[in-house]
Amino acid sequence: MRRGLLVVVSSPSGAGKTTLCRRLLQEFPDLKFSVSYTTRPPRTGERNGVDYWFVDAQSFQRMVEAGEFAEWAEVHGNRYGTARAAVEDALVRGHDVLFDIDWQGGEKLKAQFAGDAVMVWVLPPSLQVLEERLRRRATDAPDVIGRRLAMAKEELLHYTSYDYLIVNDAIENAYDHLRSIYVAVHWELRRARFLAAKLLETGNT
Ligand code: 5GP
């Protein structure tokens, strides 16, 4: 059977990775989104079980202690985590899984699933553009925006653990790059070799 792939997309908030991830999921319905658990309250329009599983701090802590997370991290004062079972289940079935997670989570997944993770880092075209995008996103309180901005510069330094860089100057362009990376890695020989084996087995050339 085909080996599943972990597609990890990270960037500081406001670089546009969520939009890029949504488009990839729309175009490739077999790609599964890893719905994270978070203690952050939902933003307008966010749905439980679709964007995140929204849980309280106690429930999150229980999951940490029970070892249910493949990774978890504190980001901007809230906790976020990836359920181990959901990821392993998808991989066993040979599905590709997409992760919209921060660099801390990205590094942990890379360490655990070495060889099966492709790491994509999304850069804003400039720090100024990043600031404008965060301010335009009126879903966060002003103090939250300020905090995220201050951390963005520091977060940007973590690109070095990633395999691919995308500069999100224009969404079409950036999406084209993300799509190309995904398609290329999906068809890597070590993941797709079962197709050749199947074809040769049946003599169906
Ligand atoms: P937001 O609150 O804007 O949805 O997400 C804040 C940050 O947390 C983003 O960088 C997002 O990618 C990251 N994040 C979301 N889910 C997870 C997760 O399960 N684990 C980790 N480590 N980061 C996550």
Query: Quick one: pLDDT at residue 204?
Result: 58
Query: Quick one: pLDDT at residue 140?
Result: 67
Domains, the chain, ranges and CATH? 6-34+96-203 (3.40.50.300)
Closest ligand 1 atom to Cα of 12: 10
CB distance 82 to ligand 1 below 6 Å: yes
Query: Quick one: pLDDT at residue 131?
Result: 84
Average pLDDT along the chain: 91
Query: Quick one: pLDDT at residue 143?
Result: 79
Query: Quick one: pLDDT at residue 205?
Result: 52
Rounded-to-integer distance, Cα 127 and Cα 13, Å: 12
Task: Judge contact between 117 and 107, C-beta under 8 A.
Answer: no
Query: Quick one: pLDDT at residue 139?
Result: 67
Closest ligand 1 atom to Cα of 100: 12
CA of 121 to the centre of ligand 1 (A): 14
Q: Which of 82, 86, 120 has its CA nearest to residue 4?
A: 86
**Residues of the chain scoring pLDDT < 50:** none
CB distance 13 to ligand 1 below 6 Å: yes
Rounded-to-integer distance, Cα 21 and Cα 98, Å: 8
- Model-level pTM? 0.91
CA of 146 to the centre of ligand 1 (A): 17
- DSSP three-state, residue 117: strand
CA of 99 to the centre of ligand 1 (A): 9
CA of 81 to the centre of ligand 1 (A): 8
Burial code (b: 16+ CB inside 10 Å, e: under 16) for 26-52 equals: eebeebbbbbbbbbbeeeeeeeeeebb
Per residue in 127-181, pLDDT (tens digit) is 888 888 888 876 667 777 788 788 888 899 999 999 999 999 999 999 999 999 9
